[in-house]
Amino acid sequence: MTLRAAGTPPELIVADGAGAPVRLMAPSPDRDATATLAQGRSRPAWAEIDLAAVTHNARVLAELAAPARLCAVVKAHGYGHGGPAVARAALAGGASRLAVALVDEGVELREHGVTAPVLLLSECDPAAASTALEYGLIPTLYTAEGIDAWAAAARAAGHPVTVHVKVDTGMHRVGAAPEDLVSVVSMVMHEPLLELEGIWTHLPVADGMEPADRRFTEEQLDCFERLVEDLRSAGMTAPLLHAANTAGAVAFPRSRHGMVRCGIGLYGYLPGAPGGVSASFAAQSSGAVLRPAMALKARVVAVRTLDAGERPSYGRLRPLPARARVATVPIGYADGVPRALFRAGYEVLIGGRRRPLAGMVTMDQIVVDCGDDETVRPGDEVVLLGDQGGQTITADDWAAMLGTISYEVVCGVGPRVPRIVIDRPDAAGD
């Protein structure tokens, strides 16, 4: 049985140097996406994915964490960037393995030719164990039910299975309770076909700047190390220990152990408020910087001149302060541009200048106040995330306006937005 993801992955197109798509990397099975559609000319809105930036970021993170190995977290379709392509780019930059949240995500990697080890970050439903085993995915286990399911799947397959065990040191989401870890690991080790490779935990506030956050993370790491020692005393060891996410890998070097699991850093962003993880990164990275891997763009499809006092879009929420040229752009909240950006004072880039929204974001379109600029025309490029004319808009900028985090911004770019690859690792200069 092959499981299929509930949501359709975003299309991912390889583009040539001029930006024209030349090959569909992750085709939808139920339609033929032509180059015209892929480039967004029938609806000119698209996300540009810089895979060379992913490779660069992986290299920077791998060097920072060494000698610990880098595990690239590519769940949620590679944080919205395209799972299989991001996986290959991260491996090219020095990642030695990958991590996903769902069996379906691991299956997608395998079906696109990715052969590196893939860790499931949560215990899957027992009914999915045989599928996960068929595709060579490494389970995380922490319950008797999960251990029994994987032992049965291994017996049915007739070969051993590598497994990891997660312990909950304070995240309180999933994982074995600390007082149960010895018994859980003992259950794994008493199953002849389950081979224990890793013990791990997760750090929920490694990006925090408050003293209480730092104390909590240090206490988690103390707990994890005590538990590992308890296992050793009981005659049980695992060759691979891991606790660090991106924040932990940067801000808490002791958390690196044998492997770090980096997600958001891979895509060009550091977690937490400025001055926290970012300051630690600057102090350790020898001048290297992370490069955002996604830009979100569209083109103007209509322009009209409206008098002062006109109120464009749903709700007629804001009068134009002066006679203005108003541009319509075909991208909206169904594509991951939240309505809340309007009230937050969000601006897009057109012609290298910041332009405010003229009205509420709608499902499929936004309207932009271009003031008295008569040069704005249909076909002009609009940058919602990325660079234009020396100006930059980042996912961190969106996050600050929305009271959220960069993770949610990039993951929120919807599946109907085609992803176009603008650079590949083999073309990177670093």
Write out pLDDT tens, residues 323-360: 999 999 999 999 999 999 999 999 999 999 999 999 99
CA distance 18 to 37: 17
Is pTM beyond 0.85? Reply is yes
Q: What rounded mean pLDDT belongs to the chain?
A: 91
Categorize the per-residue pLDDT at 36 as very low, low, confident or very high, splitting at 50, 70 and 90: very low
Cα–Cα distance measured from residue 46 to residue 362, given in angstroms and rounded to the nearest whole number: 17
Alpha carbons 247 and 207: distance in angstroms, whole number: 5
Question: With bands split at pLDDT 50, 70 and 90, how would you rate the model's confidence at 27?
Answer: very low
Residue 96 has pLDDT above 50, yes or no: yes
User: Which one, of 17, 57, 3, 55, lies nearest residue 250 by Cα?
Assistant: 57
The sign of the torsion formed by the CA atoms of 87, 93, 98, 101 equals: negative
One-letter identity of residue 107: V
Compute the CA torsion angle 182, 188, 190, 192 (nearest 10 deg).
-160
In the annotation, is 166 catalytic? no
Tokens of 219: 């206490």
pLDDT of residue 273: 84
Work out the average pLDDT over 356-367: 98
Q: So what's the pLDDT on residue 275?
A: 83
Give the number of C-alpha atoms closer than 13 A to the C-alpha of residue 145, restricted to the C-beta side: 7
Q: What is the model's pLDDT at position 3?
A: 39
Residue of 166, 297, 314, 333 marked active site? 314
Cα separation values, 200 from 86, 228, 260, 277, Å: 24, 10, 10, 22
pLDDT of residue 426: 62
Q: How far apart are CA 230 and CA 36, in angstroms?
A: 60
**Do 296-393 and 49-284 have the same topology in CATH?**
no
Rounded to the nearest angstrom, the gap between the alpha carbon of residue 412 and the centroid of all alpha carbons in its chain is: 10
CATH number of 49-284: 3.20.20.10
**Bridge-based pairing state of the strands 366-369 and 381-388:** unpaired
Mean pLDDT of 132-154: 98
297 is known as an active-site residue: no
Please identify which of the residues 75, 267, 269, 407 carries the catalytic annotation.
Answer: 75
Contact 114, 87 (CB under 8 A): yes
Taking residues 406-419, what's their average pLDDT? Answer: 96
Topology of the domain covering 296-393? Lyase, Ornithine Decarboxylase; Chain A, domain 1 (2.40.37)
Residue 12 confidence (pLDDT): 57
Predicted confidence at residue 270, as pLDDT, reads 96
The pLDDT of residue 110 is above 70 = yes
Closest Cα partner for 369 from 308, 296, 314, 298?
Answer: 308
Region 84-108: mean pLDDT is: 97
pLDDT for residue 41: 54
237 half-sphere exposure, CB direction, 13 A CA radius:
5
* For the chain, domain boundaries: 49-284, 296-393
408 pLDDT higher than 70? yes
Which has more confidence, 422 or 15? 422
pLDDT at 20 over 50: no
